[in-house]
Amino acid sequence: MATKSSRPSAVFVAVALFAPMVLASSETAYASSRMAQANLSGNAFFPLVVGATWKYKELGGPTGGSALTIHVLRAHKISNGEAVDVQDTMGAGTFTAQYIVGANGAIEVEASTGSGSTKMTITGTSSYFIPSASQIASCHPCHFSANFTTAVSRFSMKEHLAETATSMGAQTVNVPAGTFHAQKLQMAMKITSSVSGVPFVDTASYAVFLVKDVGVVETGAGTVSTSVMGHATNASTGTEELLDYTP
C-alpha cells in the first residue's frame, strides 16, 4: 500500500491501497495463516480481510523514515454490497476509507482525512480501478477513468481520475518482511479539476509489486506533479517496503 501523491494525497492512497504473489518460506507462512480468513474483495491481489494489518517504511522522498500502518477495521452488509472500513496511520495523521464491494466485484471508495476545518472527504461516483486477479499479469495496459468529489470544510470540488496500469512481469522482491515472488505493475494516474475556472492537473507515476494473498509488498520510487494554469511543480517520492503483515 502506498502514498504516492501531491495535492490529492488521500485519492492516491485510496486508489492504491492494497493489491498483490509470494515465495519460499515467507510465502508459505503468510498464505497458510490466511487460508481460514475471508477475503471480502474476492481478488487475491487486493486482500480485504477484517483484522489484517500491514506495516510499511518509507525510504527517501519527503516522508523518508516514516512508518505507515494499514488496518482493516470491520465490514458490514449494505444495500448494494459489502462495506469494508480501512484505516491508515502515518505519524500523527490518520486516513480512513470505506471500500464498497458490489455483487459484480466492482469496488467504490469513500475516504476522509483530518478533522474540523481541515477535514477532507472523497466520494466516488464510480469504481476506482483495481485490476482483477486475471488482469494483474496481462495489462498491456489496462485503462480506467472515474469521477469523484473532494470536499474540504464547506468547499467541494468535482474531479476526474484517469488511470493506466501496465504489467511488467514477475520479479523477486526482497523487503524486510521477507523474499517474495511478485507481479510488477507500472502505474500512471492523472487527476484533473477546476477551481473558480482555474484548471488543476495532478499526475503520479510509480511501480507497485503485488503478492497474491498478501497485498503490496513494495511501492517503487516515483514522481508526482501538480500543474496550475500550465505551471508545474514536480517532486520525487520514495520507496515503500513491507515491514510486517498480520492476517
Per-10-residue mean pLDDT, the chain, length 247: 36 34 35 59 87 92 80 89 88 82 71 62 61 84 84 78 92 96 94 86 93 93 89 90 93
pLDDT attached to residue 169: 94
Q: Does some domain include residue 3?
A: no
Residue 174 maps to a domain = yes
pLDDT of residue 126: 52
State the cell numbers at 82.
459489502
CA–CA distance, 244 with 155 (Å, rounded to integer): 38
Cell 502514498 found at: 3
So what's the pLDDT on residue 118? Answer: 55
pLDDT of 71 reads 95
Cα R_g (the chain), whole angstroms: 17
Q: Does 1 map to a domain?
A: no
Q: Output the pLDDT for position 63.
A: 67
pTM for this prediction: 0.78
In a domain, 103, yes or no: yes
Asked if residue 4 is part of any domain, the answer here is: no
pLDDT value at position 146?
80
Q: What is the CATH number of the domain that holds 137?
A: 2.40.360
Enclosing domain of residue 129: 9-246
Domains held by the chain: number: 1
